[in-house]
Amino acid sequence: MSQTSAVFAPWAEADAKPLISFDRVTKSFGGFIAVDDLSVDIYEREFFALLGPSGCGKTTMMRMLAGFETPTEGEIRLGGEVLRDQPPNARPVNMMFQSYALFPHLSVADNIAFGLKRSQMSKPDITARTEQMLELVQLKDFAKRKPHQLSGGQRQRVALARSLAKSPKLLLLDEPLGALDKKLRQQTQFELMNIQESLGTTFMIVTHDQEEAMTVASRIAVMDKGKIIQVATPGEIYEYPINRYVADFIGDVNVIEAHATGTDTATLTRGEGLKPLEASWGRLTAGDGKLWLALRPEKVQVSVDAPQGTSNALQGKVIDIAYSGNLTTYHVEIDSGQIVMAQEVNRRHLADRSITWEDPVWLSWDKGAGVLMRG
């Protein structure tokens, strides 16, 4: 993000008031608990991402904010006010739908003006605001078109303009880029971030795409089975996942069972006659029962010769090599039989690769690269 994240961190300030707060919210449908006793605060100007697999409750959280569902227990507050009895049309919250939900019988301009016409705004003001929104999403030349005459990317922008037209306090985005192809999606992510920054509106995005969440969000909440597992900045989530679920969900990771001792740095004891490994305690405090070591593949080096000056080295045999152009991932079987992935940026030409299948190799990493977490 271009904004300096060191400055923008209201969640770290003790006296900051949240814009939205979920206060022990539970939502059940019949016997199925979609959201389970969940509390979280979201601050003004945040770009907050709810990340999780389908069925984890993220969409339900969004629909409760929009007013399409009512919490079974607990309260949701917007600017300190309880939302429970406000119908969707009375909430200063707008939503951008996954399917975009553009009205097929209305033109682009009429779609954008739809919400404005239902507010107290005067006719000339509506026209001006619609123009302004069309400009924001660069669709001035398409105002008279019907939605089906637009490309996927253009529809996405109309949906965005329509949901922003009423200047909501909070914009909800339900898988906003899911229908776009990969190239367009990446480009649109930046547009979305620029718009969010220039308007200063609080955005809340629901996605199952971890890369998308990492790119756009100021904070990410990783969800599973109706609960939030971890809420933190993208960097924090990636570098210090609190458990295997989070580590697995975000990027590739090697997970190795560990018995740790020590205070400042953790020392991982291994079998007899083997040198212990060193790792960071991450967000854990020393002496936390059964633990796991998270090791990102790109932080592991592969070499033919034994590495010097590090105690974190393992011997193994190359089982598989996955070449993906810019990167090569080596799957190495270590002594315990476990497969450890190591990733290398391909600075040299493919033909110059010195390691091949069945080669005995060394894996090594810095002592800060491995992070301990719970199961």
Partner 1 sequence: MRRMSLFNVTSLTLVAAFLYLPILLLIIYSFNESKLVTVWGGFSTKWYGELLRNEQFLDAAWVTLKVAVISSTIATVLGTMAALVLVRAGRFIGRTLFSGMIYAPLVMPEVITGLSLLLLFIAAGVDRGATTIILAHATFSMCYVSVVVSSRLVTFDRSLEEAARDLGCTPWDAFFSVTLPIIAPAVIAGWLLAFTLSLDDLVIASFTSGPGATTLPMRIYSAVRLGVSPEINALSTILIGLVSIGVIAASLAGKRSART
Q: Residue 119 or 263: which CB sits closer to partner 1?
A: 119
Q: Out of 58, 129, 157, 166, which residue is the one contacting partner 1 (CB under 8 A)?
A: 166
The residue among 63 and 219 lying less far from partner 1, judged by its C-beta, is 63
Per residue, what are the HEC states of the chain? CCCCCCCCCHHHCCCCCCCEEEEEEEEEECCEEEEEEEEEEECCCCEEEEECCCCCCHHHHHHHHHCCCCCCEEEEEECCEECCCCCHHHCCEEEECCCCCCCCCCCHHHHHHHHHHCCCCCHHHHHHHHHHHHHHCCCHHHCCCCHHHCCHHHHHHHHHHHHHCCCCCEEEEECCCCCCCHHHHHHHHHHHHHHHHHHCCEEEEEECCHHHHHHHCCEEEEEECCEEEEEECHHHHHHCCCEHHHHHHCCCCEEEEEEEECCCCEEEECCCCCCCEEEECCCCCCCCCCEEEEECHHHCEEECCCCCCCCCEEEEEEEEEEECCCEEEEEEEECCCCEEEEEEECCCCHHHCCCCCCCEEEEECCCCCCEEEEC
The set of residues, in sequence order, having a beta carbon less than 8 Å from that of 122 and lying 6+ positions away, is: none
CA 291 distance to own-chain centroid: 25
Specify the residue, 204 or 372, whose C-beta has the smaller distance to partner 1. 204
For position 31 contacting partner 1 by CB under 8 A, the verdict is: no
Options 163, 188, 207, 254; binder of partner 1; rule CB under 8 A? 163
Note whether 95 and 101 are within 8 A (CB).
no
> Is-contact 265 367, C-beta < 8 A?
yes
- Give the range of 27-35, 61-69, 327-335, 352-360 binding partner 1 by CB under 8 A: 61-69
| Cβ at position 97, least distance to partner 1 in Å | 5
d(CA 126, CA 139): 17
Binding segment for partner 1 (CB under 8 A), chosen from 81-89, 244-252, 300-308, 358-366, is 81-89
Rule CB under 8 A: choose which of 42, 51, 66, 126 binds partner 1.
Answer: 66
Nearer to partner 1, 86 or 154 (CB): 86
Q: Which of 67, 282, 297, 370 binds partner 1 (CB under 8 A)?
A: 67
| Dist CA 289 CA 367 (whole Å) | 21
Assess 235 for contact with partner 1 (CB under 8 A). Answer: no
Cβ distance to partner 1 smaller for residue 86 or 303: 86
Is there binding between residue 185 and partner 1 (CB under 8 A)? no
147 counts as binding partner 1 under rule CB under 8 A: no
Which of the ranges 65-73, 272-280, 296-304, 325-333 carries the binding residues for partner 1, by CB under 8 A?
65-73
Shortest gap between Cβ of 281 and partner 1 (angstroms)?
45
> In the stretch 311-350, what mask flags binding to partner 1 with x, by CB under 8 A?
----------------------------------------
Contacts of 105 (CB under 8 A, 6+ apart): 146
Contact residue for partner 1 among 68, 190, 323, 357 (CB under 8 A): 68
Least separation, in Å, of the C-beta of 159 and partner 1? 9
> Site size for partner 1, by CB under 8 A?
24
Query: Which parts of 86-115 interact with partner 1 (CB under 8 A)?
Result: 87-89, 93-95, 97-99, 101, 103-105, 114-115
Does position 8 interact with partner 1 (CB under 8 A)? The reply is: no
Q: Which of 17, 24, 84, 118 binds partner 1 (CB under 8 A)?
A: 118
- Options 20-28, 84-92, 183-191, 351-359: segment touching partner 1 (CB under 8 A): 84-92
Sole binder of partner 1 in the list 162, 185, 219, 296 (CB under 8 A): 162
How far is Cα 258 from Cα 270, in angstroms, rounded to an integer?
A: 8
Is residue 20 part of the contact set for partner 1 (CB under 8 A)?
no
Binding site for partner 1 (CB under 8 A): 66-68, 87-89, 93-95, 97-99, 101, 103-105, 114-115, 118-119, 146, 162-163, 166
